[in-house]
Structure 1
Amino acid sequence: MGSRPLFRAQHGILARSVLLHDRPIPPAPDLSKATPVAAASWRRWVLEVWGVQQIAAAVRHASPDLSREIDNLKDTPADTKTLRRLALTLLSYILRLTHRPTPFGLIAGITEGRFGAATDVRWGREHRTRTRADGLWFAAVIQQLEAVPGLRRRLRLCANNALRVRGERLVLPWQPRAPQETGTALREVSVRHTPAVRAAVQMTSTPVPYGDVMRKLGAEHPELSTREAEELLDLLITQRMLLTSLQPSGTETDALGYLVRELDRVGGMQHEPVTELAVALQEIHVQMRDLDQRDPVSVEADRQRAALTTRMRQIADQPSPLAVDARLDADLVIPRAVAREVEAAAGVLARVTPEPHGTQAWLRYRERFRDRYGEGTLVPLLDLLDPHAGLGLPEDFHGTPRAPEPDTMHRDRLLVTLAQRAWADGQDLVLDEDLVQRLAHGQAPAPEDLPAHVEMTVSVYAASAQQLDRGEFSVAVRRSSRGWGHFSGGRLAALLAEQGSPSDLLGMLARRPTTVREALPVQVSFPSLLPSGAHITRTPRLVAPLISLSEYRPADPDIIQPRDLSVTCHQGRLHLVSLPRARVLEAAIPHPLQLECQTPTIARFIDELQRGQSSRLIGPFGNLAAWDWGAARRLAFQPRVRAGRSILSPATWRLAHAGLPGPAASTAQWDDAFAALRERWRLPRHVYLERFDHRLRLDLEHPAHRALLRSHVDRPQFGQLTLAESEPDDAYGWCAGRAHEVVTYLASTAPARPAPVIRSAPIAGRDHAHLPGASRYLSARLHCQPQVRRALLTDHLPALAADLNHCVWWTTARDGDDRPHTELTIRMPHPTDAAEAMHLLGLWAAHLTDAGVMNDFALVPYRPHVGLWGTEDALTAAENTMSADTAVIAYQHARLRFPAAQPVLAATNLLAIAVGFHQDVTEGMRWLAAEPKPTTDTSLPRPLLQQARTLAAPDDGWAGLRQAPGGADLVDGPWAQRHDALATYREALRRSPGTDSDAALRALLTAHLRHIGEAPKDTAWRLARAIALAGTRPRRRPTR
């Protein structure tokens, strides 16, 4: 499908696979009949399985509570209900241990691999683990230590860089929740911004010892007693407005090791109140390092983990104080043909995504940004995200409204029809080129709309290595990611960083592709909102430039502070910018922490800024499935979706539609109903039971597996339960039968976008708005329907203009908002004229409201788009040009009577504006001809094109237009005034080198089209460009 791939797979891969393999496991008993004999068999089976050391070791770490119950079962009788629960739970773990390759504890691990010429696989048994302190346990320890006054006074302090001043308060918009807290609510805290608080924050902009802060506070604020100064600092520490040196940053992958070193540095080992705890932490850290040198599933390692867990619980009573990750003893080379197949699958998924140009939330946010600030202006990030000072956050963020759903009606109808047809025929849904185009429906993304990079997780199906090398394989697409590092960063990157040899994969993650030329890839580091997420977020420093949010860090020139970040819009796309570096940044969170509820909103904003404006290759709201069924996801059945050798989505059945009996039904009744369901739904023998990313491979002909399925169906669930088809029994033959996933790294083949000019760009301060009554500008929103605009210009605004003598005014069409309106802007000679002008404007608006011309009216601040139009003289000249263009449109509506089609007249105006801007016919035509050709499948109607050729002829002084009724008066009157205004503006731009004159001209043309109701890049634009092309094309000499 297409000759050039949209994505190119990189050389390296990350393989994920289960640790348990080739170990005999006793078959599960029938769990459907609760008789004494059956209960005895359940007990025997549980204890027999528990005798398999690798299973026991993995479950002990994953579920300490379950392990204790099973250990007690050896000596203590249990009732039937308890035995059945233990058997079902243990069966779930066995299925995870054998079939779920998601890295976790001693269940599954990772290894680096690569694409090569032929398959080469080696599985060893010398697996190794990396043992660390769990995030919840570590947070509880920090809480204990920071509560000791004597220790606190030995620490260094650093101000939280997320602090904001709002009026008379110092505000921290968010902070991690305490270990005992539950829920997902964001908690803002604030204190009075007193001179002492201001001083404490300013003097800790870089780390300073607690004692030095106390001395400086005493010197600067002698009114504070020593106790009051201590109470102030302690309050700021408790509220996390000041961070202590006990808090490791997100790039400290060994948090406990950092804490032990810091305690030793400040003399904590000798400070009596914490000596015992500090020594215990040091010993625990040593024991962790020793544990990682052992066979992770050996009896000795199992006992050492148990002893370590017991000791850690004595310090902080958390259920699972140890976090363990495994690195597999394996080498993996996969044929390059698999890489080509993954590239093709990613290309198809990109072409049929329901949001090919970005998510609705981000597209709408971008339009709000452009409406408020325009292009080319730098807006400080913290001001932008503050809802009291800027736009706030996009929709779909925590605490913001939901964005409207994209218009996918055509795609939804087609997919529902195709799914139902596939169900009726018992066939797969196969995507060929014709069907891909039908699903895209003319909305396929342009190459520059694609994300610069994405990870795609796949499983490879081939019965043997020989078949794989011959190309006899299938690729099952599992999930796609937010970008490189999402599936392979965090704790997994830390695991790779500590292996004996340098990691090629980490080197690749450091060289992420970017959307913009010469953009700087940066890493984002921050504390998780939930302490339990800390183990996931700790990532080695992959690149030197680092955006650090709310972290204690020593002074470092490569640390980028949020106060140094701005956002700008360039060529219709938002970018994150570093002001000191004068460079575009492309930031990424290199770990899989859930964005919606566990990530600080500023970090999520920074991470999503580029990706949100690119084709969406993951499901909505945290769903990482690569294929999006749209409305068809609500069907009871979705067929397998294939493209080439790739399975983009497995056949899936939603159990919410199953109609199975409830918990009160007998086993026989439930089995009969399920057998009928299997026949009706054509369920295969082996399926995966799925809820979110949890998967259990079931054999539906095994009574124990059906009992496990029923236990899930009968239990109240958060989220949908589905059954998905399993891989064939011989699918993993090429890799010794191991369940696996391969993380592939894809880079867009599209060229990077040009970078905006930053050094000379204006910066929008909080005072950049001209408020009504306090400046020489008045801006009013006239809420009326688009069809009323003509009457406004011809019948109503002339009277207002006559009253507002010596004022310059213009109108702007605003149709992208939920409430279409016309924006009227008036520039007065002096701010003292504002009162009279407001009075006249109010009387005029009242008359129009009474007459039913408009339904609402509002005075709003005028925010000139100085990044687009220029500043000072250039801005004044641009406003005069917009005023002149408004006069042209009003004149045409009121005076012209010749029967020119609207697009023809609009195209003629576009040519006139381009020529006037360049003050040269040839240059203006050449500029318009060089603009990108609009993408469309339809040709221009011949009558329109012929009429345009007659009227739109600037090279002969608009002779065709002058011959039309009223045409000469138009050209010599309003057009001439606009021509002069354009000349003045172009001259002003020459004296303002930081302004992009091409962008300014495009904006003038677009504003004209919107004003007359023509869509940009539509018929009028195409007509103008066609005339320009004809006018600049070399003419052939006649042949003799």
Structure 2
Amino acid sequence: MTEIYTPADEYVLRTHNLASTEVSGLTVDKIKELCASPIVSEAIFLASPELHQEMTKYLNGKEMKDPDRLIQSLHKYLLRMGHRCTPFGLFSGCSVGTIDEQTKIELNSSEHHKRFTRIDMSYICTLVQQLEKTTQIRSELTYYPNTSLYPVGNKQRYIEYRYQNANRRHFTVSIDNSEFIEHILNHTKKGIKIKELAQFIVDPEVSIEDATAFVHQLIDNQILISSISPSVTGKNYLEILVDTIPDQDIKNRLKQIKELLETLDNSKYTNNFSYYKKLSELLDSFEISYNKKYLFQTDLIISAASNTLSEKVIKDIQKGVQLLNKLVPYREDEKLTNFRNKFFAIFEEEQVPLSLALDVETGVGYGFNNEDDYDISPLINDLNISKKNYTAQHKKIRWTRIDGFLNKKLIELDKDATEMFLTESDLDYFKENWNNLPLSFTVISHVFNNDSDNPLINMSYVGGASATYMLGRFTQADKKIDQLLKKITKKESEKKDVIFAEIAHLPEKRTGNIINRSHLRAYEIPYLTKSTLPVEQQIPINDILVSVENDRIVLFSKKLNKEIMPRMATAHNFSYNALPIYHFLCDIQTQNLRENLEFDWGNAAQNRNFLPRVRYKNIILSLAQWTIGKKEIQKIIQLDDLTEWRKEKKLPQKIMLKDDDNELLIDLDHPLSVQTFLSTIKKRSQITLAEYLFDEENALVTRQGEAFCNELFFSFIKQK
């Protein structure tokens, strides 16, 4: 592996803002004490203003209707702030470290951490919608064709969005095409103001008033999009608005907001609520409705006195990747395979415009109309499509060699064992394959027991279409992360036979909070959003041709005369409720590649409510986990003491309650923790518990003797 993929010189540490030792053995009095501190108070305010309001009343001695429920909520937040590494407001954040001769990660105090606060994209997008309707502002804006427009026979089709219950819904709209419409669209490609376009339309039979009214109609119907429409790449969107908004009063207010945010970000954890109050007053001046919970977005950049990892740790990580390479098979993407086969059956080797290929009438569609994906997309068109036309296919259970191997190991395991060891001879049975992995990928690991010569290393995740995956959203907050990701994309761009292009798309207003990122590549594919790159570096959807060559889907740019490979440097779940073109562009990132090398029990896990830890030497491939069903949940919530149940299940003292991406630490020896646990699960039909290996005595990450959990992001880049 070391000859094919090498690690970047830098990695990203993710850790929490409160030390684990601070939230160990929490009592009601300790919860009150911590919540009264400026750092925790502000963190909870940003996470949940309503909870913060109730907390403030409680701390001020006011009688509460349900104090137990409030304490449990605060307990959960404090555990998150003292144990969970996933970045979330002021609870946890990132820090860039370097690979060196020795391992030493020592954090600075919280007051040295750097915050990056911005206005929630939901508010900004709503504000822009209002500004675009203002006559004075509208007349000064520049307009461009909707990036989703494409011709179909005598029609032009495009995607229009409308807001229903604050959610962005997309619709396919058709308009009559004509030489006149095409003339207008061509004339607006480089951007044009309303007055200029109206003058262009005027002729002896069309007055300036009629021409102007027609232009407004084009704008109202989203055929033309303004220069202040949402942008998710490049500079922060608020900065773009400050630079481009023509109204001086609006510009000044936005500038005040920007400057206040900068002042807030440079402040310590004292008296910050005065800044939030001033910001809220300025935002209220625009007279738009908003949810107070979704007003501020904050990322935290952790300051460290020292942040280095030894090459020994890196070598262990590399070994872990090698193991997973052997144990994780290639899985075909059925959506791409179905598309490829249907496309080839109709078009053979012909190059077809992407929009036409994915149109359900002129092409083969994508995603929602495939047999394995029978939910109807929210994308509405003129075709009478109903859910009953699609039937769920019963997928055949296919046992692989790996399934058989894991099942055999489980059968051989002692009934009281909680750990399954893999040996060299076990792994010799499987071969490595480095030919079906991306040019770069991410490894997420946790390092435990740092004082030992062989620290335990948990391989949490290996994958992504690029090592930029999951870190893009922090590029606007931290120059070091931005520089790291640009080094990766620069290395990827050395593949000269293709052009890598970043997908720029805003599926929902609030999604912008996690997909905003700097310009990471020389080219972008804007779709229903605005790119601020020069026009020559933008690849419009209608410039992309799709074909099938040698059983491979190929995307080709007409203007650049080159194959293009889309990339998406964010962790957005694009498979949920996505528009077909966006879904397709994201899926094709990993065409014929293994998208991840995550350990998977596969079919061997069937009918097992306990799965042991999987370990090779000091490398953990999978943590021990327990599945608890509804009957057992109902049984344990009736118990006064969980000691016997814990012994029966062979549960350690500390476990994690897993909820998809969320985790809650439970200490089964701690009454308040048990109370929180039982209250959380009482209405569940099933829960998953996982072991918790963090040891405060031998923590990798420390601060003046205090202990912190760690989550380490490594970037591996292909050299050949």
The bucket for the TM-score relative to the shorter chain is 0.7 to 0.9
Tell me, in whole angstroms, the C-alpha distance in 1 between the residues paired with 2:417 and 2:472: 43
The answer for the alignment partner of 2:39 in structure 1 is: 54
Contact 2:699 2:709 in 1 (8 A): no
Where relative contact order (Cα < 8 A, 6+ residues apart) is larger, the structure is 2
Q: Secondary structure at the match of 1:521?
A: strand
CA 406–52 in structure 1, closer or farther in 2 if over 3 Å, else same: farther
Q: 1:13 aligns with which of 11, 14, 25?
A: 11
Q: Secondary structure at the match of 1:557?
A: helix
CA 714–169 in structure 1, closer or farther in 2 if over 3 Å, else same: farther
The answer for the alignment partner of 1:343 in structure 2 is: 318
Q: 2:196 aligns with which of 190, 193, 212?
A: 212
1:329 offset after TM fit, Å? 1.0
> Within the alignment, does 1:360 sit opposite 2:328 as a pair?
no
1:127 offset after TM fit, Å? 0.9
The answer for the alignment partner of 2:514 in structure 1 is: 536
1:226 offset after TM fit, Å? 4.9
Q: Secondary structure at the match of 1:495?
A: coil
The answer for the alignment partner of 2:701 in structure 1 is: 735
Tell me, in whole angstroms, the C-alpha distance in 2 between the residues paired with 1:601 and 1:608: 10
Contact 1:484 1:512 in 2 (8 A): no
- Report the AA paired with residue 558 of structure 1: Q
The answer for the alignment partner of 1:454 in structure 2 is: 441
Q: Secondary structure at the match of 1:660?
A: helix
Q: 2:502 aligns with which of 523, 546, 568?
A: 523
CA 643–743 in structure 1, closer or farther in 2 if over 3 Å, else same: same
The answer for the alignment partner of 2:295 in structure 1 is: 321
Q: 1:28 aligns with which of 16, 26, 29?
A: 26
- Report the AA paired with residue 299 of structure 1: T
- Report the AA paired with residue 136 of structure 1: S
Structure 1 unaligned blocks of 5 or more: 30-41, 270-274, 619-624, 752-1040
- Report the AA paired with residue 541 of structure 1: H
Tell me, in whole angstroms, the C-alpha distance in 2 between the residues paired with 1:281 and 1:571: 53
Contact 1:116 1:334 in 2 (8 A): yes
Contact 1:574 1:610 in 2 (8 A): no
Contact 1:207 1:553 in 2 (8 A): no
CA 566–617 in structure 1, closer or farther in 2 if over 3 Å, else same: same
Q: 2:640 aligns with which of 671, 676, 686?
A: 671
> Within the alignment, does 1:280 sit opposite 2:278 as a pair?
no
The answer for the alignment partner of 2:139 in structure 1 is: 153
- Report the AA paired with residue 526 of structure 2: S
The answer for the alignment partner of 1:300 in structure 2 is: 271
Tell me, in whole angstroms, the C-alpha distance in 1 between the residues paired with 2:488 and 2:217: 40
Q: Secondary structure at the match of 1:89?
A: helix
CA 89–71 in structure 1, closer or farther in 2 if over 3 Å, else same: same
1:309 offset after TM fit, Å? 3.6
Contact 1:450 1:748 in 2 (8 A): no
For residues 964-994 of structure 1, what are the alpha-carbon distances to aligned partners after superposition, in whole Å with 9 as ceiling and x for unaligned?
xxxxxxxxxxxxxxxxxxxxxxxxxxxxxxx
CA 563–406 in structure 1, closer or farther in 2 if over 3 Å, else same: farther
Tell me, in whole angstroms, the C-alpha distance in 2 between the residues paired with 1:586 and 1:515: 13
The answer for the alignment partner of 1:605 in structure 2 is: 584
Contact 1:617 1:626 in 2 (8 A): no
For residues 924-954 of structure 1, what are the alpha-carbon distances to aligned partners after superposition, in whole Å with 9 as ceiling and x for unaligned?
xxxxxxxxxxxxxxxxxxxxxxxxxxxxxxx
Contact 2:504 2:531 in 1 (8 A): no
Q: Secondary structure at the match of 1:111?
A: strand
1:134 offset after TM fit, Å? 0.5
> Within the alignment, does 1:65 sit opposite 2:50 as a pair?
yes
1:68 offset after TM fit, Å? 0.9
Q: 1:140 aligns with which of 115, 121, 126?
A: 126
Contact 2:103 2:308 in 1 (8 A): yes
Contact 1:350 1:617 in 2 (8 A): no
Within-5 A mapping of 1:488-887: 488-497=470-479, 504-513=483-492, 518-527=497-506, 529-553=507-531, 556-597=535-576, 599-617=578-596, 626-627=599-600, 629-630=602-603, 632=605, 635-656=608-629, 659-661=632-634, 669-672=638-641, 674-715=642-683, 721-730=687-696, 733-736=699-702, 737-748=707-718, 751=720
Tell me, in whole angstroms, the C-alpha distance in 2 between the residues paired with 1:545 and 1:314: 38
Q: Secondary structure at the match of 1:392?
A: coil
Tell me, in whole angstroms, the C-alpha distance in 1 between the residues paired with 2:210 and 2:102: 72
Tell me, in whole angstroms, the C-alpha distance in 2 between the residues paired with 1:160 and 1:653: 50
The answer for the alignment partner of 2:234 in structure 1 is: 252
1:615 offset after TM fit, Å? 1.9
- Report the AA paired with residue 545 of structure 1: Y
The structure whose residues are more often helix, as a share, is: 1
Within-5 A mapping of 1:1005-1024: none
1:404 offset after TM fit, Å? 7.4
The answer for the alignment partner of 2:420 in structure 1 is: 429
Aligned-pair identity in percent equals: 20
Larger radius of gyration: 1
Structure 2 unaligned blocks of 5 or more: 378-389
Deviates more, 1:240-249 or 1:552-561: 552-561
1:374 offset after TM fit, Å? 4.5
Q: 1:190 aligns with which of 166, 174, 186?
A: 174
Within-5 A mapping of 1:367-386: 367-374=341-348, 377-386=350-359
1:700 offset after TM fit, Å? 1.0
Q: Secondary structure at the match of 2:620?
A: strand
TM-score (norm 2): 0.87
> Within the alignment, does 1:387 sit opposite 2:360 as a pair?
yes
Contact 1:260 1:282 in 2 (8 A): yes
- Report the AA paired with residue 300 of structure 1: N
Q: Secondary structure at the match of 1:14?
A: strand
For residues 141-165 of structure 1, what are the alpha-carbon distances to aligned partners after superposition, in whole Å with 9 as ceiling and x for unaligned?
1121112123212111000121123
The structure whose residues are more often strand, as a share, is: 2
Deviates more, 1:696-705 or 1:547-556: 547-556
Q: 1:90 aligns with which of 74, 94, 103?
A: 74
Tell me, in whole angstroms, the C-alpha distance in 2 between the residues paired with 1:414 and 1:174: 51
- Report the AA paired with residue 647 of structure 2: E
CA 255–503 in structure 1, closer or farther in 2 if over 3 Å, else same: closer
For residues 53-112 of structure 1, what are the alpha-carbon distances to aligned partners after superposition, in whole Å with 9 as ceiling and x for unaligned?
2211211111111001112234573345x2111101100010100111111211111111
Within-5 A mapping of 1:880-1029: none
- Report the AA paired with residue 379 of structure 1: V
Contact 1:12 1:504 in 2 (8 A): no
- Report the AA paired with residue 240 of structure 1: Q
Contact 1:431 1:642 in 2 (8 A): yes
- Report the AA paired with residue 742 of structure 1: L
For residues 851-883 of structure 1, what are the alpha-carbon distances to aligned partners after superposition, in whole Å with 9 as ceiling and x for unaligned?
xxxxxxxxxxxxxxxxxxxxxxxxxxxxxxxxx
1:335 offset after TM fit, Å? 1.3
Contact 1:686 1:700 in 2 (8 A): yes
1:308 offset after TM fit, Å? 2.1
Tell me, in whole angstroms, the C-alpha distance in 2 between the residues paired with 1:738 and 1:45: 19
Q: Secondary structure at the match of 1:597?
A: coil
Deviates more, 1:64-73 or 1:158-167: 158-167
Q: Secondary structure at the match of 1:511?
A: helix
**Root mean square deviation of aligned Cα:** 3.1
TM-score (norm 1): 0.62
Q: Aligned pairs, how many? A: 691
For residues 870-928 of structure 1, what are the alpha-carbon distances to aligned partners after superposition, in whole Å with 9 as ceiling and x for unaligned?
xxxxxxxxxxxxxxxxxxxxxxxxxxxxxxxxxxxxxxxxxxxxxxxxxxxxxxxxxxx
- Report the AA paired with residue 9 of structure 1: P
For residues 705-743 of structure 1, what are the alpha-carbon distances to aligned partners after superposition, in whole Å with 9 as ceiling and x for unaligned?
1111112212458xx631110014247523212111111
Tell me, in whole angstroms, the C-alpha distance in 2 between the residues paired with 1:514 and 1:187: 35
The answer for the alignment partner of 1:123 in structure 2 is: 107
